[in-house]
Structure 1
C-alpha cells in the first residue's frame, strides 16, 4: 500500500513541476493511498493501540463537557457492543477496522464517565450552615498553626441522611490531640465546596465531589475527642492506622532535619505537604521543580528503581542464584510490591495512583519479556487510570504526567546520549563520556518534558518558569542520586530505629535543593504570568502533541497544523473586562488604565486567580489599593474601560440610586423587581450561573459563566438560596480565617 501511495504521488509531483495542477481524482487517489500506506506502517509498528487510549479519553471528554442532564449507562455500553460485534467482518479493511475500534473506545470512555459519577454520588451541602457535627476522623494533615481533618459525618445539625454530606473537610486550630480514628463532637461552620472562581478556572467542587467530600469549613469552639462508639470496619481501621503512621513518620523526619528542609523531606516520603510554607512553595515553583514535592511519577520510578537495583545487585552477588534464577524478573516483582507499599503509605493520592499504575505496567512488561518503556505500555496505563478515575483527564496532573512521558518515549532515540559513547579503553575517556551523557541526557530530558507539558501548565496555572530547565538540571541529580535513595534507606532503617542519621544526610541534600531553588527564584522574571487562553487552544495543542509523539510515519507532519493554530489562539486569548465573585461580594473591573481594579472585598485567593487569568503579575494587595473606584459603606462605583458605569451594591439602600445610573449592577443581594440597570448580576443570577466574566464591546456585554446555561452538574446542586429567603448566616468577612477560599490549588505541577 505504501508503494501505491508513492506511485500516486510520483504522478502528481511532475504535474506540479510542469506548472499545471494535478487532476482532483489524482490528488484524491494520492491522498487515499498515502493514508493507507501510513496506517499500514503504523499497524506494522504496533502504533495503533495508543490511539485507543486517545479515543477512550475522547469519550470521557464528551461526557464531561457536552452532556446536558444524566445520560444512561446502558446506551454507551450497547453502542460499544454493536461496534465491537462488527469488527470480525472488517479484518480485510484495516482502516475501517481501526475506526470501528476507536468508536467503540469512545463509547466505553463515555460509559466510564457515567459509571464514575453514579458510583461516587452523594449529598452536597447547598448553603452555609453552622451546626453541631458528630463524626469520625478519617484523615489528618498537620499544617502551620493547625490541622485539616477529613471527617466521616454521623450527624450534622438536623439534616437527614439524604441531605447530609457523607464526608467533610474542616480546618482545626489544634489545641488538643486529635488522631485518625478518633470520634469528635464539635460545632462546625460548613459551606458548599467552592466552585471555579472564573469561567474555565479550577473547579474545587468537582474534585471534592469525586473524593466524596460534600462540604468544607472549620470547627469552632471546643472539640470533644474520644474513641468511636462502635468498632470500626476493617477498611476504616486500616485507613486510620496508615494515616496515623504517616503523621508520626512526618514528625520524625521533620524533627530529625528541622526547618523547611525537614518539611520538604517529609513531603517527599509521606506525601504530607501541609508543613511546607507558602514562601517555600513559591520558591520551588519559581525554580520549576514544584513537582518534586508531590508524590507522582518521579517518586514512583525512583523508588521502584532503587528497590529493583538493590534486589538485583544483591542477588547477583550470589553466583548460584545469578545463574539459576531470573534475577531481573525477581527484582521487578519485588519492585512492584515495594512501589505499591510506598503508594499505600503515601496516602493513595490521585497523582500517586496514576503513577503507580504506569510503573506497575512497565515493571510487568519485564515479567513477560516485553520492553518496559513503550507507548503501548503508556497507553495501557492511561486506559487503566482513566477507567478508574475518568475525571482525572480534566486535571493538570494527568495531562502533564502522560504528556511528559509520551514526549520522552518518542524522543528517546534522540536523547539517549549515544553520540557520546566511546570504545576507548582510557578511564579518562570513559569517565568523560559518562559525564557528557549524564549532563546532556538530563538537560535534554528536562527540555523535552517542559515542551510537552508547557501547554497544560500554562493553561492551568497561567505561569511559565523560564529558568525551569536550569532548576531541574541542577536539582534532579540531587533528588535522583541522594534524596530518594536516602528516603528508601530511611524507611528500611525506621523499624530498627536507625533512621535518624539517614534523615540527617537526606536533609543536607534537600537543603542544597532549596538553596539552588532560592538562587534561581532570585533571578529577574523567574515567574512569568501569561493571560489565560481558552480550551480551544488547549485542545489543538494537545492534538499536536499526540500527532507528534504517537505516529512513526509521515503522519507526524500533521502535528504542524494544530500546533500552528493552537499557538495562534493561545497568543491572542480572550481577556475579560469584568470578573464577578460567585457570591457577588466583590468584582474586578478593567479601569481606564487597562488594568483590573477591585470593587468590594473578594478573597485574596480569588483575586489572585483573576489577575493571573488577565496576565497581571501584581500581588492581590496592589490591585486592592489601586485608585479609581469610589466607595462608601453601602457600595462602590467605577467607570469601566469603555465608559460604562459599574456599581457594586453592598446595602439595599444603594439600589435606588445605582439601579437608575449603573449600566452593570453587581450585588450579593436580590435586586428589586423594578431595577432599571441593563445588566444585573445579583444573588439569584449568581446562584444559578456561578462566577461570571464579562467582555465589554461595542455590540454589548459578552457574558460567560462558570456553570453555563445547561443543567447543573451533580457537583453543582441547586442552591437553597434560589428558592428560600436569606438565612441568618451573614456574608463572609475577608479577615475571617474560615472565609478564605478553602480550595486547594489544582493538584499541581506533576510533569514527571
Structure 2
C-alpha cells in the first residue's frame, strides 16, 4: 500500500509535466528497432501495432497512476513500428557488385568529401548492362583529378566513367554504420571518377529549387570572393562546395562548425530578426498596429520566410529539424501559448521523429535537442527564480554567456562520443563569434536576399562579409593555440543512452527526485573511463590491420585504407596519424597459445606466404591460394564485415561487424516486406447452380 501511495503521489506531482516524456518514450521504441539483430516480419508489426492501440485505448480510461503506465506500453511499440515502417518505405536497389563503366544521371546534390574532393549525388541513374530494377535510385560520385568540369548545376544530366560499389559497412564492429545511413538516403552506390564529367544534355530537368540555390550561391561568392563568400554561401543556401578543408578543420577545432550547418541557430536568428522587424514595422504605422493582430501576423509572416529559407537551403535533415522547432515556436505565438517551453521542444521532437525516426541516431539530432532542452530548462529556471541582474545592460551579456555555456556543456559529451574530439577553447570562440552572427551576419543576409532582385545586394553582403571575416579570424587564431583540441576515446555504446536518461530526468522530472538523474550520468562517466578498445582490428577490405600497443595502435600499412585508419585512430583517442602509427608495426601479431597473425598484400606475397610463422593470414587479394592455415580474404570479409580480435589463453576470440549489426535491410541480410495479400472470398455454389 505504501508503495502504491508513493507511486500515486509521485505521478500526481507530475500532472501537467508528462507530455515532454512522450518523445522520450517513443525514442525508446525507435532505438529498440535499430538495436535488433534481425528484421521484423508482418506478424511482429501486427502484434506491436495491436499492442500499441490496445494500450493507448486503455490509457484514455485509466487514472493518474495507470494512465502513464499504459501510455508507456503504447508508445514503445509504436516507436518500433514507426521506425520499421520508415525503413521499409526507404527500400531501394543497392548495387551488389563492383562496377566500372559509364554512369549517367541527374545532379541533385553537390558537396565535398573529407578529402576535399567535389562529390555529386545523382538520381535517375543509368548504368551500362545493369537492369533497371537493379539500378540504384541514387549514387554518389567523387570527382578526382584535374578534369575541367562541365557546368555542375543541379538538374543537369551528366555522364562519366566511374568506379562504383555498394555502401561500406562499419569500419569496426559497433562503429558508425554507413550502410544504414545510405539506406535511409536511398543511396545505393558510392564511388569515384578520374575522367571528365560531360553534359548529357544542355537542359535542366526539374530540380528548379536546387538550381536557384546554386545560382544564389554563385552570385554571393561572386560578390564576396574567397573564404568569406564561401562561408556566406553556406549560411544563405547550404552550399558547402566552396569551403576549403583547412577552414573546415579550423571551425571544428574551435567548436564553431555548427555555424556551417543551417540549424537552430540560423533559423532562429532569421525568424527572430524577421519577427522583430515586422513588429516594429506595424508599430511604426499606428493605423495598422492598433487595428491588426500585429504579433500574430508577424509570427505568421516569419514562418513563411523560414519555410522559404528551408526550401532554398536544400532542406536537409538538420534544416528540417530547425524549421520544425522554429515553426512550433511561431505557431505557439499565434495561439497565445508560451513559445519557449519544454512542451514546444517535445512537439518539435515528435514531428521530427515522426517524419524521420532514423534521425534519433544522428549526432545532429542528439546535439540539437540536447542544447535546446538544456537552454529552455535553464532559462526557465532563471525566469521562475527571477535571477536576472538589476542592471539592464548586463542582461544581454548574461544571456550570451549562459546560452553559450549551457549549449556547450550539453553538447560536449555527444560531440566527443561521436567525433572523438573536444575543443578546449570552444567556449571562448563561441562567446566572441556567435553574438556577431545575431547582430550583424544574419540581419545582413536577410537584407541582401531582399535586395538581390533590385541588384542592391553589394552593401549588405559587404557588411555580412565583415562579420564572417571576424569569425574566420577567430577560428584560425584559436585553432592555432597550443592544446586547442584533445582526442577522446570512443565510449561504450551504453554511455550516451545513460547520459541522455540522466539529463532528461534532471530537466523533465518535477521535485527533488530529479537529482536521481545524476546517478546514471555518473555511471556513464565511469563506464566511459573503463572503456577498452579492441586489441586487434581488421578492415573489411583486408588491406589494413591494427594492433594496440602501449604507444598506441600500430598499423600494418603507412598508406592505403586511409579512411579506415583515421577512424580507428580517432576512436582510440591517442591523436596518432597513419604514417606514425605504421612506424609502430613490429611484425607477426601474437594471438595466444603460440598462434600468430600476419597481414599480406599482393598476389605474389600471398603465394609466398608461409603458414609456418602464421596461423591466420589477412590479405587484400580476392582469390587467395589454399593454404593449411586460415586465410581471411575480402570475399570472406564481405560476409562478416570488419573484425575485432581479442587474444586469449584459450585462443583468439573473434567478433565481426555482422555479429553486432545482425541481418538487417541495409546490409543485405533481410529483404523488404512484400504487401500483404488476402485471398478473395468466393461464395460457395449451392446445389442446382
Q: Distance in 2 between matches of 1:508 and 1:554?
A: 48
Contact kept, 8 Å, 2:544 with 2:555, in 1: the verdict is no
Stretch moving more, 192-201 or 490-499: 192-201
Alignment counterpart, residue 125 of structure 1, candidates 77, 95, 107? 95
Contact kept, 8 Å, 1:584 with 1:683, in 2: the verdict is yes
Alignment counterpart, residue 290 of structure 2, candidates 307, 312, 323? 323
Q: Distance in 1 between matches of 2:137 and 2:267?
A: 31
In structure 1, the partner of 2:674 is none
Alignment counterpart, residue 134 of structure 2, candidates 145, 159, 163? 163
Q: Distance in 2 between matches of 1:519 and 1:222?
A: 38
Gaps of 5+ in 1: 1-28, 423-432, 631-636, 720-752
Gaps of 5+ in 2: 671-689
1:672: how far off? 5.0
Alignment counterpart, residue 535 of structure 2, candidates 577, 580, 586? 577
Alignment counterpart, residue 614 of structure 2, candidates 662, 681, 696? 662
Alignment counterpart, residue 399 of structure 2, candidates 422, 438, 441? 441
In structure 2, the partner of 1:452 is 410
Does 1:267 find its partner at 2:234? yes
- The 3 A distance-change label for structure 1 pair 475 and 594 is closer
- The 3 A distance-change label for structure 1 pair 142 and 667 is closer
- The 3 A distance-change label for structure 1 pair 649 and 84 is same
TM-score by length of 2: 0.90
DSSP 3-state at the match of 1:42: coil
Does 1:503 find its partner at 2:461? yes
- The 3 A distance-change label for structure 1 pair 139 and 522 is closer
- The 3 A distance-change label for structure 1 pair 591 and 562 is closer
In structure 1, the partner of 2:30 is 60
Alignment counterpart, residue 66 of structure 2, candidates 65, 71, 96? 96
1:689: how far off? 1.9
Which string of whole-angstrom CA distances, capped at 9 and with x for unpartnered residues, describes residues 528-553 of structure 1?
A: 10111111112111111111111122
Q: Distance in 2 between matches of 1:478 and 1:369?
A: 31
Which string of whole-angstrom CA distances, capped at 9 and with x for unpartnered residues, describes residues 318-341 of structure 1?
A: 112222211111111011101011
DSSP 3-state at the match of 2:187: coil
- The 3 A distance-change label for structure 1 pair 676 and 142 is closer
Contact kept, 8 Å, 1:586 with 1:598, in 2: the verdict is yes
In structure 2, the partner of 1:399 is 366
Alignment counterpart, residue 83 of structure 1, candidates 31, 51, 55? 55
Which string of whole-angstrom CA distances, capped at 9 and with x for unpartnered residues, describes residues 294-333 of structure 1?
A: 1111111111111101111101111122222111111110
Q: Distance in 2 between matches of 1:388 and 1:436?
A: 41
In structure 1, the partner of 2:655 is 704
Does 1:628 find its partner at 2:600? no
Q: Distance in 1 between matches of 2:381 and 2:158?
A: 58
- The 3 A distance-change label for structure 1 pair 658 and 398 is farther
1:665: how far off? 2.7
- The 3 A distance-change label for structure 1 pair 503 and 643 is farther
Q: Distance in 1 between matches of 2:223 and 2:202?
A: 33
1:415: how far off? 4.8
Residues 2-41 of structure 1: matches in 2 within 5 Å? 31-41=3-13
Alignment counterpart, residue 713 of structure 1, candidates 656, 661, 664? 664
1:583: how far off? 0.9
DSSP 3-state at the match of 1:535: coil
Contact kept, 8 Å, 1:366 with 1:372, in 2: the verdict is yes
DSSP 3-state at the match of 1:411: helix
Which string of whole-angstrom CA distances, capped at 9 and with x for unpartnered residues, describes residues 67-112 of structure 1?
A: 512433433222211112222441xx32211011122111211111
1:640: how far off? 8.0
In structure 1, the partner of 2:308 is 341
Stretch moving more, 548-557 or 657-666: 657-666
Alignment length, in residue pairs?
661
In structure 2, the partner of 1:549 is 507
Q: Distance in 2 between matches of 1:698 and 1:457?
A: 37
Residues 178-577 of structure 1: matches in 2 within 5 Å? 178-227=152-201, 237=206, 240-415=207-382, 418-422=386-390, 433-577=391-535
1:188: how far off? 2.2
Stretch moving more, 288-297 or 182-191: 182-191
